[in-house]
Amino acid sequence: MAKAPFKRVYSCTIKKRFKTKNAAKNHAAKYETPTWPYRCEFCGGWHLTKKKPERPKK
């Protein structure tokens, strides 16, 4: 197997995928561990991450 150029592609395939941000949020609400939905640029869907996304400062 060739080396994966992007680790995020791999995590994309094993992660749960949601069609919308709200679906991801609803799912995240069921867990005690806080997770944040983020849009995946590879599959176009939404995944959940345990890492809190950084808010860009303006």
In this complex, which beta carbon is closest to Zn ion, that of residue 13 or of residue 26? 13
| Footprint of Zn ion (CB under 5 A) | 12, 40, 42-43
Q: Hey, what are 35's tokens?
A: 């997770």
Residues 42/44/47/53 CA torsion (nearest 10 deg): 80
Shortest distance, position 10 Cβ to Zn ion, whole Å: 10
In this complex, which beta carbon is closest to Zn ion, that of residue 26 or of residue 43? 43
Shortest distance, position 36 Cβ to Zn ion, whole Å: 15
